[in-house]
Amino acid sequence: MWILIFLAGFVIGSLTGAWTMLIRCRKERGQIPKKLNKIDVTLILVGITTVIFIAVMIWLYIKTGAVPDSLVAGYFAAVFGEVSICGWIKNIKEKAKKVEEEL
């Protein structure tokens, strides 16, 4: 049980550390946006729901001794699809911006 609590703390700490490092790097470069765009909000919500999902799965494992594998696979497939689409959209926008700057 202590291992599961440690893993949950590790996941939450890693996400928090990555978020603060991202903000710090953007602040140093002067790239902090005035407001969050839709992709940033989507990625933040995906991160929050993933942490909640992992916590619920850990609780379910402690309570019943098993985890529904198909639910876990389906959730992470959907999250991977959403994040991939967000990355693809951002990549296209950056390429269009770079081409516009060259002209």
Q: Quickly list DSSP for 29-82.
A: HT---SS--HHHHHHHHHHHHHHHHHHHHHHHHHHHS---HHHHHHHHHHHHHH
- Per-residue pLDDT tens digits for 51-87: 888 888 888 888 898 888 888 899 889 988 888 888 8
Residue 1, pLDDT above cutoff 70: no
Over residues 26-48, the mean pLDDT reads 72
- What is the Cα–Cα distance from 75 to 52, expressed in whole angstroms? 12
Q: Is the pLDDT of residue 13 over 70?
A: no
Percent of the chain's residues with pLDDT above 70: 66
Output Rg (C-alpha) for the chain, integer angstroms: 18
Instruction: Identify the pLDDT of residue 21.
Output: 66
pLDDT above 80: residue 14: no
Q: d(Cα 61, Cα 74) in Å, to the nearest integer?
A: 17
pLDDT, the chain, mean? 78
- Confirm if 36 and 65 have CB atoms less than 8 A apart: no
Q: How far is CA 89 from CA 30, 38, 95, in A?
A: 23, 11, 10
Q: How confident is the model at residue 48 (pLDDT cuts 50, 70, 90)?
A: confident
